[in-house]
Structure 1
Amino acid sequence: MFSFLKSDPTKKLRKTYDQKLEQAMQAQRKGDIKTYSLLTAESESIWQEIEALEKSKK
């Protein structure tokens, strides 16, 4: 009945995913390739979580 009041976990994960990609881009522009690769790896794991959640919804 009150499912519209529950927060969507994928929305929060997408926001985190976008932030990680933004940080990775900034690190790449600064020439910090190590940080870029770490942030990109983190964002990929977040993306896998998002896909798993979306699959479980269907």
Structure 2
Amino acid sequence: MFGFFKQSPTKKRRKVYDQKLEEAMLAQRKGDMRSYAMLTAQAEEMWREIESLEKQQAD
């Protein structure tokens, strides 16, 4: 009945994903390639999770 109050499980993950990408960009600008690679890998893993959740919701 009150399903519209329920927040999408991917919305919060997308926000964290965007923050990781921004942190990675800042690390790259500072010249810290190791942190950039680590943060980018974490963001890619989060993106895979988001895609799988969205696929489950569509089914």
* TM-score range relative to shorter protein: over 0.9
CA distance in 2: counterparts of 1:26 and 1:44, whole angstroms: 17
Deviation >3 Å, runs of 4+:
none
Gaps of 5+ in 1: none
TM-score normalized by the length of structure 1: 0.96
Instruction: Report the aligned-residue RMSD.
Output: 0.5
Identity %: 62
Match of 1:27 in 2: 27
Match of 2:46 in 1: 46
TM-score normalized by the length of structure 2: 0.95
Gaps of 5+ in 2: none
Give the number of aligned pairs: 58
Match of 2:6 in 1: 6
Residue 7 of structure 1 and its aligned partner are, at CA, apart by: 1.3
Residue 14 of structure 1 and its aligned partner are, at CA, apart by: 0.5
